[in-house]
A and B are shown apart, each in its own frame.
Chain A
């Protein structure tokens, strides 16, 4: 436990390290390079939008960060710690979370139980043989999260009976369980109505300031309201990085993306 700690490790521990640091990350699917030499640094608390056309490699980027896939090469650091070789659950336990482009919820469970399972997953009661008591801290935490994503009226609803928009909100609550340090949102606004989009923006802007995230978002309007920096991806590569205003005005970006690849 008390092994000598290098200066850089100590600095990392005190929070000067980047929340997320990708160096030369590539991912090959056979001959297809879904990611090519990706370098990204995201500071703690920073909120970043990733934009890019279909098949640009955005979801693959998330999968490599969370360990759903192992990157073919390159290194991934999370708050200074090299997590490149960790299995997904080890990365999650360090405070990383994600949502999925296509919801992966337990559709036979209620809203609260879905969130409860995610609270248990990052707690020590994972292997508990005892059922939760009425005053269980994790049950209370789950209830709080239900309120946080505006699902209080649906607390006991079975997930398969929720509307699509509500399921997307639940995905967010699941990702918020257990005090995450950094979250990856994969197109949380896709398929939502304008009202639901507004609600989503509200939820994201209401997150505690220290909680950074990357959000994949096709809708430039939503992206600009919830992120302070933007990364553009194309064909598995990073094509531009900057402040939202710069990106919007960049002629190359306009030609490639805003020009109307995606409605």
Chain B
């Protein structure tokens, strides 16, 4: 056998340790056996040494997903979580240098999996699982994202009662429309209580960060719609049609001011504010 190249060795080693099919069009791994490539003369035999890498690969990544979705894992069985997380990692093996993106597709993956297996459209348990995963992922993104902590809030003093024509969402703000009252459930689980699963009802939550602490603020439907509108476009007016009723339109200016205090919105993009603060 001719000496394998570095690329061939790595392709083979990765294949046997991750048990993943190689992407089509990529380098083919040869059908080598462990004894063909690895030196078996040391105290730790090659088979066992390989298993340490192989077992460690999945165990390490499962541990990271478990740390990002602790309530989901705790609320259902750890066996169920590990099983579904393993399927997820097989479909979406990590590619980035950072672990922050590892769980980014997990809620969507759960949605796909549950849609494929659910018998009825009204699958409340499935919706709860997906929403809980969305909430935990949002918490993780908000905790790491660009926040407004170091912004000089005096920048807003000139607002007075006049709303600027454009306002911007804090980059780490996440908006969620949930199909059950999950937030109290999550808090109870975090406090090691044993809450019952929440009943179905529509809830709107802003996930934001104040003083480096993630906050889960309940909001009303029109406040959620308004923030969604601002997420698409920083232009305050015209309001979306859903907010056009005179009663709601009258409440918007006051609530936008409150939103600046809560760290949801800024009067210019965060980058511009950071520069003007220096």
A and B physically associate: no
Question: Which B positions have Cβ atoms within 8 angstroms of A?
Answer: none
Question: Which A positions have Cβ atoms within 8 angstroms of B?
Answer: none
